[in-house]
Amino acid sequence: MIIPPSQRKAKSKLPTFAIPLYKFNNRTPQSYHTFCSRRPPTNPRHERPDIPFVTHIKKTQDPDEALSLFHKYHQMGSKHDYPSYSSLIYKLARARNFEPIETLLHSIRTYNVRCRESLFVALIQHYGKSNLPRKAIELFSTMRSYNCTRGMERARQVFDEMLEREVEPSVVTYNCQIGFLCKNGEIDKAKGLFAEMVRKGKHPNAVTFALLMEGYCNLGKYKEAKKMMFDMEYQGCNVRLVNYGVLMSDLGRRGKIDEAKDLILEMKKRRFKPDTVMYNIMINYLCKEGRTAEAYKVLVEMQVGGCEPNAATYRMIVDGFCSLGEYEDGLKVLNAMLMSRHCPRLETFCCLIVGLIGSGKINDACFMLEEMEKRKMRLDLESWKALVRDACGGDSGVTELVTELVSAY
């Protein structure tokens, strides 16, 4: 078991229900960063690989090895662009390894990489094949934030051409148009299209109603959105988690966390088992409200109920504790994250290390640097600057502190 130095002597400040987070086994925890032993050849003049990353990744069959190559090229000074990101995401999506894709999408947004619509279309299709409709809807809704415009006007033209040629659109086609109208606040037109598909014998599914519900929520009409769940049952369409997810997200955005908690209780009474996505919505907004300790309780609750947290679950809570300056609690949760074989983002490692140093937790900071080294991750320059800046602010032990950090790195 990986135990940071501070935990070997000091008692945890977290409540006693934290125990279920720690999983004991005889195997060494592994992250999905499995680095290959062969280093790609480099060009000594430009310090860049002779073989482009995209060419190399196409020859790689193992998705984990492809991910390792991505990080390895980055450490060698290669700047990843859209072809690099898209090649890796395609390979991971085909393997249904969606967890690292979330991290890659975050990097795309952070570095403002301009993407083509085809990447998101393919990813949405893979989400659909993996029975992850909520993820598909979320990705579609956030495409513009990835510096990518959706060709919805052209899609509308194609839809109209289908009607003119008397080609019957499918439920999926109707859903796309209903979603587009709802996003633009045209809920009445969306309801008209909904009525048309029913009249033509097309049966709306849970996603259809979820899109309409989201449209109502965007207009501030939560009650009307919730009423739609009764309407869909009346029309013979079973309520799904995606419908509750729309309501949960709206309550979270409006800061109505307690009502969101009540919604989960209502789900359980109706024998709906919340999934990781539902719990993550709750945890996300609790952390944004500065209620990270409550988010931690939700993490324990989902584990007790048999729902496994994913990397995003842990990451939000660690980042939440860090934003509050509670770095020791953040370290305890990150330790549980590592034991669960999830790997934090580089930014999470850096933030936690800087905070631990600022709190005088040198041993814990060195422990974190060792964990980064195991995963072939390096502290970024800005974090090193912050560490040195904090170190030089004191009058004693500065030289020893910097020496210890550099040697650990």
Q: In this structure, is residue 140 part of a structural domain? A: no
- Kind and range of the H or E run holding 245: helix 241-253
27: in domain = no
In a domain, 2, yes or no: no
124 shares a domain with 47: yes
Residue 408: pLDDT band with limits 50, 70, 90: low
Task: Provide the token pair at 361.
Answer: 């937790």
As a whole number, mean pLDDT of residues 171-199 equals 87
Question: Within this chain, do residues 219 and 169 fall inside the same structural domain, yes or no?
Answer: yes
Percent of the chain with pLDDT over 70: 74
Would you say residue 185 lies in a domain?
Answer: yes
Task: Tell me phi and psi for residue 49, to 5 degrees.
Answer: -65, 140
Which pLDDT score, from 0 to 100, does residue 13 have? 47
Give residue 224's pLDDT. Answer: 94
**Inter-residue contact 246 to 274 (CB < 8 Å):** no
- Taking every pair of Cα atoms in the chain, the longest distance, rounded to a whole number of angstroms, is 81
Element (H, E) at 43: strand 42-43
Helix (H, G, I), strand (E, B) or coil at 252: helix
Domain presence at residue 19: no
Give the number of domains in the chain: 4
- Please check whether residues 177 and 242 belong to one and the same domain: yes
Please list, residue by residue across 253-282, b when 16 or more beta carbons sit within 10 angstroms of its beta carbon and e when fewer do.
eeeebeebbebbeebeeeebebbebbbbbb
Nearest C-alpha neighbor of 211 from the set 160, 237, 263, 174:
174
Residue scoring higher pLDDT (75 or 361): 361
Does pLDDT of 11 surpass 60?
no
* Residue 139 token pair: 């990705």
**Among the three residues 200, 224, 254, which one is the final residue of a domain in this structure?**
254
Clarify whether residues 244 and 169 are in a common domain.
yes
**Whether the predicted pLDDT of 404 surpasses 50:** yes
In-domain check, residue 145: no
At 158, the pLDDT band (50, 70, 90 cuts) reads low
Together in a domain, 95 and 48? yes
Whether 120 is covered by a domain: the verdict is yes
Residues 120 and 193 in one domain: no
What is the percentage of the chain residues whose pLDDT exceeds 90? 21
Averaged pLDDT, 241-250: 90
Q: Are residues 238 and 289 in the same domain?
A: no
pLDDT at 403: 55
Query: CATH number, domain at 181?
Result: 1.25.40.10
- Of 132, 159, 181, the last residue of a domain is 132
Is the Cα torsion angle 57, 62, 64, 68 positive or negative in sign? negative
CA atoms within 13 A on the CB side of 218: 16
Instruction: Please check whether residue 125 lies inside any domain of the structure.
Output: yes
367, pLDDT greater than 90: no
**Claim to verify: residue 155 and residue 247 sit in the same structural domain:** yes
Reported as a single tens digit per residue, the pLDDT across 16-44 is 333 334 333 333 333 333 333 344 444 44
Is the same domain home to 160 and 247?
A: yes
Residues 173 and 249 in one domain: yes
The predicted model gives 351-370 an average pLDDT of 86
Does 358 lie in the same domain as 321? no
CA distance 129 to 131: 6
pTM over 0.95: no
| Domain membership of residue 308 as a residue range | 273-344
Per-residue CA distances from 398 to 139, 206, 402, 403 (Å): 47, 61, 6, 9
376 or 181, which is more confident? 181
Q: What is the pLDDT of residues 274-307, one digit of tens each?
A: 888 889 989 999 999 999 999 999 999 999 988 8
My answer on whether 243 and 161 are in the same domain is: yes
CA distance 194 to 232: 12
Using the 3D structure, point to which of 227, 254, 281 is the last residue of a domain.
254
Whole-number pLDDT of residue 38: 40
